Amino acid sequence: QYPAGGSSTNPFL
Amino acid sequence: VDIPWVVKPEEKLKFDSIFDSLGPVGGILTGDKVKPVLLNSKLPVDILGRVWELSDLDRDGMLDRDEFSVAMYLVYRALEGEPVPMSLPPPLVPPSKR
């Protein structure tokens, strides 16, 4: 669901 | 490192019961399950974003039981007017992650 690395693992960004 | 975790056992019990009430799958809560709970604190989204950054220690977009406790701890402290740190102080890192 989320790409590895990067801040897109943060649901608030 | 032999520092006690700042999350006290009685607080951990409270956070664990919230964690369990959110329906973790495989002992893990996804971001979309945790997000409404944190938003419920009414803290600004940029603060909550930092709380997430600090508590999702393995950066997988999900929180396990200990990571969730860190998030809740930071939210409760923020509600008491304490600033959310820019990086996680060692006593806040769960013993299981050191």
> What's residue A8's pLDDT?
74
List, in sequence order, every beta strand (DSSP E) within B18-84: 28-30, 62-64
CB contact under 8 A, B31 and A10: yes
ipTM of the complex: 0.81
Q: Is a pLDDT exceeding 50 seen at residue A1?
A: no
Residue A2: per-residue pLDDT:
44
Query: Residue B78: what pLDDT?
Result: 97
pLDDT at B1: 59
Residues B98, B90: Cα–Cα separation, whole Å:
9
Q: Point out the residues of chain B with pLDDT beneath 70.
A: 1
What span, in angstroms and rounded, lies between the C-alpha atoms of B62 and B77?
21
Is residue B52 within 8 Å of B85, Cβ to Cβ?
Answer: no
Residue A12 distance to chain B (closest CA, Å) = 5
* Contact call for B61 and A13, based on CB within 8 A: no
